[in-house]
Amino acid sequence: MVLVSTALITAFVAGCQNTDSWVEAQAASGWPAQYGDARNSSYQSTAGADALRLEWTRSVKGDLAAAVALGSGSYLAVNAQTPAGCSLMVWETDNRARQRWCTRLVQGGDTSSPLWDGVDNLYVGQPGAMISFPPTQWIRWRQPVIGMPTTPRILNAGHLLVVTHLGQVLVFDAHKGIVDGAPLDLVAGVDPKDSERGLADCRSARAGCPVAAAPAFAEQTGVIVLSLWEPEAEAPVLVGLRYRPGQNPVLSQEWTSDAVGGGPLASPALSSDGSTAYVNGRDERLWAINTADGKPKWSIALDYLAQTPPSVSPDGLIIAGGGPGAKLVGIKDAGDNGEVKWTRDEVVPLTTSSQSGADVAYTVARDGEDGQALIVFDPADGRTLNSYPLPNAGGWPVGVSVGHDRRVVTATSEGRVYGFAPA
Q: What is the pLDDT of residues 132-163, one digit of tens each?
A: 999 988 999 999 999 999 999 999 889 999 99
Q: Higher-confidence residue: 338 or 156?
A: 338
The architecture of the domain spanning 25-187+205-422 is: 7 Propeller (2.130)
Domain ranges of the chain: 25-187+205-422
How many other C-beta atoms lie within 10 A of the C-beta of residue 265?
A: 24
- Write 243-252 long-range contacts (CB < 8 A, 24+): 243/155, 243/161, 243/171, 243/217, 245/155, 245/156, 245/159, 248/181, 249/181, 249/182, 249/184, 250/171, 250/180, 250/181, 250/182, 251/169, 251/171, 251/181, 251/183, 251/184, 251/224, 252/184
Position 34 scores a pLDDT of 97
Cα torsion 4, 10, 15, 16: sign: positive
268: pLDDT strictly greater than 60? yes
13: pLDDT strictly greater than 60? no
Proportion of the chain above pLDDT 70, given as a percent: 95
pLDDT digits (tens, 9 = 90+) for 56-92: 999 999 999 999 999 999 999 999 999 999 999 999 9
